[in-house]
């Protein structure tokens, strides 16, 4: 998934389909590429906050921030958003 996404990323029309963003973000996360996961999942949540997968994407964002040792205040806000 990641190879294909990186090859066509610039040619995708905005807004990118939610299934593509979520699955690519999840794939980045599972391959421990947390910066990539943050970029894609943040786009997903900002455009598709109403879809069923949004809470899971918010949680992945928070975990990615935590694993990258980002500031605790930012990480806590992300966890709070995931819970709410």
pLDDT tens per residue, range 13-66: 999 999 999 999 999 999 999 999 999 999 999 999 999 999 999 999 999 999
Q: What is the mean pLDDT of residues 7-17?
A: 92
**What is d(CA 37, CA 59) in angstroms, rounded to the nearest whole number?**
12
pLDDT number for residue 1? 87
Q: What is the mean pLDDT of residues 4-17?
A: 92
**What is d(CA 10, CA 75) in angstroms, rounded to the nearest whole number?**
29
Between the alpha carbon of residue 64 and those of residues 4, 9, 61, the distances in Å are: 22, 21, 5
Contact 52, 26 (CB under 8 A): no
**What is d(CA 6, CA 58) in angstroms, rounded to the nearest whole number?**
22
């Amino acid at each position: 998934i990641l190879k294909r996404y990186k090859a066509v990323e610039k040619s995708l029309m905005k807004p990118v389909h939610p299934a593509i963003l979520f699955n690519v973000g999840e794939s980045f996360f599972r391959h421990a590429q947390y910066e990539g996961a943050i970029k894609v999942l943040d786009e997903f949540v900002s455009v598709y906050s109403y879809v069923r997968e949004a809470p899971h994407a918010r949680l992945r964002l928070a975990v990615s921030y935590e694993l990258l040792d980002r500031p605790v205040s930012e990480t806590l806000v992300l966890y709070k958003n995931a819970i709410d």
